[in-house]
Amino acid sequence: MKQDTKDKIQYGSAVAMIASGIILTFLSFLMLRIIHSTVLAYVGEAIGFAGAVFGLTVYARSKGQEMEEKFHELETKLMNHENTD
C-alpha cells in the first residue's frame, strides 16, 4: 500500500469518527433533549482516536525527517573522510 493511500485512509477515518460523534450528539439532543453519558463517552473516544491519528502521523514524520538528516550528515562526513585519505 502506498504511503499516500495509507494517509488518506487514516485521515478519512479520523474525520469520519469526529463527524459521527457530532452527528450522534445532535441526534441525541434533538430526540431526547439530553445528551446521554454514553454519547459523550463515544465523542470522547472519537476525538481521542482522531488526535492519535493526527498526532502520531506528525510525530513519526518529524522523527523520520530528523533521522534522514542525521544519516545524510554522517554520509557526507564519511565521503569527505574517504576523499581526504
Helix (H) or strand (E) holding 43: helix 37-84
**Residue scoring higher pLDDT (58 or 17):** 17
Please give the model's pTM, rounded to 2 decimal places: 0.64
Q: At what angle do helices 37-84 and 3-32 cross, to 10 degrees?
A: 160
Mean pLDDT of the chain: 88
pLDDT at position 78: 85
- Report whether 53 contacts 14 (CB < 8 A): yes
pLDDT at position 85: 61
Would you call 6 exposed, middle or buried from its count of C-beta atoms within 10 A (0-12, 13-18, 19+)? exposed
Q: What is the pLDDT of residues 45-82, one digit of tens each?
A: 999 999 888 887 778 888 888 898 888 888 888 888 77
